[in-house]
Amino acid sequence: MRQLPEPSRKRLVQLAKVLEQHRCGEALTLTSEKLGELTGWTQHTIRRDISHLGIRCGSPNGYPADTLLAAIYETLGIAAEQERRHACCIVGLGRLGQAFLSGELFSASPFVLAAGFDKNVNRIETLKTAFPLYPQSRMRGVIAQGAIEYALLTTEDADAPAAARQLIDCGIKGIVNYTAAVLPRGEQTLIENVSPITALTNMLR
């Protein structure tokens, strides 16, 4: 099996969500045409993406939804069965960071919030959370000890590059960047930019 192309990977993430949404009560099999309608991609693209999974579960009435979903989970590394969880942390506990603190957002996902960091010690003493909060200086140790893989970056824009550099030095696998700052790049650290400004600017035309 060849390495999954990046665009296909991202589409499969969406496709998995579509299948989850359709899970209960809906048709048990879905054709590539139907999946195309639901996602906005062509049936060609859908079929190619699915073929990357290396299963061969198609039939004249389409793909069995459950088999397909399982195969996507498998390929993406979300092996549903084996209950593999990925630990995440939040860096920056301002207004935006606090919105994620409840952790409910993550309850139906393979991710768990395991720690929060802020440079303001006052905040970490005041806030009530289901997981521990630490001053940013303790980042390295906590990330290593807790085997934390990913980070949500929700600091002030001005503090973001420095915080990102720390995270990269800790060997974090990926940073979801909610700030408008452009972050330094690390060899092994992936970055997804999701600041509202960036997203909106991307759409301008």
Partner DNA sequence: AGCTGTGAATCGATTCACAGCG
Partner DNA sequence: CGCTGTGAATCGATTCACAGCT
Interacting residues with a second copy (CB under 8 A): 9-10, 13-14, 17-18, 21, 38-40, 76-78, 86, 88, 95-96, 98-100, 102, 105-106, 108-111, 150, 152, 173-174, 176, 180-182, 185, 190, 192-194, 196-205
Find which of DNA, a second copy, none residue 174 binds, CB within 5 to 8 Å per kind.
Answer: a second copy
DSSP-derived 3-state class of residue 163:
helix
Contact 73, 15 (CB under 8 A): no
Q: How far is the CB of 93 from a second copy (least distance, A)?
A: 12
Using CB under 7 A, which of the segments 28-36, 91-99, 137-145, 147-155 binds DNA?
28-36
Give 60 or 77: the residue with its C-beta nearer to a second copy.
Answer: 77
Find which of a second copy, DNA, none residue 117 binds, CB within 5 to 8 Å per kind.
Answer: none
Decide: is 58 part of the binding site for DNA (CB under 7 A).
yes
DSSP-derived 3-state class of residue 24:
coil
Distance (Å, whole) CA 167 – CA 10? 24
Contact 97, 154 (CB under 8 A): yes
Q: How far is the CB of 60 from a second copy (least distance, A)?
A: 26
Distance (Å, whole) CA 36 – CA 33? 5
Using CB under 7 A, which of the segments 19-27, 43-51, 134-142, 178-186 binds DNA?
43-51
Contact 28, 65 (CB under 8 A): yes
Contact 55, 93 (CB under 8 A): no
Which of 200, 131, 198, 142 has the alpha carbon at shortest distance from 167? Answer: 142
Q: How many helices (H) and strands (E) does the chain have?
A: 9, 8
Give 139 or 151: the residue with its C-beta nearer to a second copy.
Answer: 151
Decide: is 8 part of the binding site for DNA (CB under 7 A).
yes
Sites of contact with DNA (CB under 7 A) = 5-8, 31-33, 41-45, 47-48, 50-51, 55-63
